[in-house]
Each structure stands twice: as structure tokens, then as C-alpha cells.
Amino acid sequence: MTKPIKFAIVFFIFAASGLFLWSQLAIKPLSTDLTLIGQGKPALVLAYENFAPSGIEAMERINRVRSDYETSIKFLVADMGTPQGQAFTEQYELLDGMVIFLSADGQPVSIGTVPVNESELRRRLDKDLGRAGI
């Protein structure tokens, strides 16, 4: 293999890796501050265990629609690896990957899993916003 071809391959790999990393930086992490619940804005809280795949997959699905709902909903994480997150998930009997939608005053509206289908996730968020009086 000639030097220009090797250089082009290495350059392409670095460029593709850089683009991928840059795209991941654009995703703002979900807050773990559960004290934001009941502060005048509905909240969707994801139960998350950092080593379990269902929570990771649920977070990816939430991140796909989050930008369209951030003005109306606080997106939060109950990190089951922390005392606060563990207490929260035990209070509502949540497992990794489950979500709870809470009204603006912190009252539970719905509990379930994050739909795999993006349009179904949007429909459920719209429904929960309506049930929360928003």
C-alpha cells in the first residue's frame, strides 16, 4: 500500500472519529437533581443504573425527542447508584429503564417504560402533558 493511500485511510479514520465525538458532545446530559421535581414544571424522571442496558437504551430514546419538549418538561435521571436516586426509585417502585411522569406540583401522573417507537414516545409525552393540565 502506498504512503498516500495509508495517509488517506488514517485521515479518514481520525476525521470520522472526531465527527462522532463532536456529535456526542452536543447531547446535554440529563440532570440528576431530583429537587427540581414539583418546582412548577412537569418532570419526566428516568430510573437509571449505569451498568444496565435498559436504562442506557431508554436514555438514548429520550434524548431523540428531548429538544422538542424541554420548554415544557424537565428531563431528569434518578441514578440508582446514589442514595438520592435509590430512595426515589424505591419510593415509586421503579426498575432500571422505567420512567415516571410527574405534574408541575410533583404528583405522579404515569409510570411505565420508555416506548421503543419514537412516535409512541411523543404521543405518551403529549398525553401525560395533557393529563398534568399543561
Element holding 48 (H helix, E strand): strand 43-48
* Residue 33 in grid coordinates: 437533581
pLDDT single digits (tens) 63-111: 999 999 999 999 999 999 999 999 999 999 999 999 999 999 999 999 9
pTM: 0.76
**Separation of first and last alpha carbons in the chain:** 63
Kindly list the strands in the beta sheet with 98-102, ordered across the sheet, starting from the edge strand earlier in the chain: 74-79, 43-48, 98-102, 108-113
pLDDT single digits (tens) 110-133: 999 998 889 999 999 999 988 877
